[in-house]
Copies of this chain bind each other. A is one copy, B any other.
Amino acid sequence: MEFQLDHAKEILRRTPATLNSLLRHLPEEWALSNEGPESWSPFDVVGHLIHGEEADWIPRAKIIMEYGEKRTFEPFDRFAMFEKSRGQSLGDLLDRFEQLRGESLKELEGMNLRPEMLGKRGMHPELGVVTLSHLLSTWVVHDLSHIGQVVKVMAKQYTEAVGAWQVYLSVLRR
């Protein structure tokens, strides 16, 4: 499928509500359990998404619009949330994400992107040349992929509890 800005916005707009519905007021052991060492809990994922709003998507889109390939993006810290989320509740993080996502979408709206601007090029510190439409598509896929991570981590808490059904549930082996 080709990137379509209105579709992308439509999906990005939904993510806070999806996370609210999955996670808000969930018993803490579900929100804080991960898949073992080096893995992320739903709480960690929401923190990571917050950091993406602050340091990744719109900031990088602006760099592309202003500087094109001449200014390489700042590397994105995938683990920043372990420090930044400390002391906050899951409800705090969900609120913050909802607020930031709303602001990001307003900024995106304000860019008045015409189709011919989507091919504008930028410079990723590891991947090299990318385009604005690659960046915005990645934002969409990144959201969806982390929603998938949240439900996978939750599902895995019941790996033993499902008994013999384990063999049918491939999510438990990923």
Judge if A86 is at the interface, Cβ distance under 8 Å.
Answer: no
B-facing mask of A8-48, CB < 8 A → 1, else 0? 00110010011011100011011001000000000000000
Dominant secondary structure of chain A at its interface with chain B? helix
Interface residue from B14, B21, B134, B165 paired with A162 (Cβ < 8 Å): B134
A63 to chain B, nearest CB (A): 16
Q: How far is the CA of A165 from the CA of B57 in the complex (A)?
A: 13
- A-B complex: 5 closest residue pairs judged by Cβ atoms: A134-B163, A137-B161, A145-B171, A1-B157, A127-B164
Interface residues of A (CB under 8 A from B): 1-3, 7, 10-11, 14, 17-18, 20-22, 26-27, 29-30, 33, 124, 127-131, 133-135, 137-138, 140-142, 144-145, 147-148, 151-152, 154-155, 157-158, 161-165, 167-172, 174
